[in-house]
Amino acid sequence: MKAEGHPDYHMITVKMTDGTEFQTRSTWGSEGDVLALEIDPKTHPAWTGGRQQVQEGGRVAAFNKRFGGLSLKK
């Protein structure tokens, strides 16, 4: 293994949105840095099962709204 081909791993502290912290090895930042998360599994609806935003209509509905009155009949 070439030594210069691998990133430098070091210990950082990860701070969750609720204030809890844990230490892990990472290539982010430098030794002893704190990574403060804005979104994490404790708060994001994708992990918590909370309400998801549903786009009303979507692209097909927008197309039908714009071109719904057109017809191919002769």
Say how far apart CA 44 and CA 18 lie, in whole Å. Answer: 12
- pLDDT given at position 48: 75
Give this prediction's pTM: 0.56
Low-confidence ranges of the chain (pLDDT < 70): 1, 50-56, 73-74
- Positive or negative: CA dihedral 37, 38, 39, 42: positive
- pLDDT given at position 64: 84
- pLDDT given at position 52: 57
- pLDDT given at position 21: 95
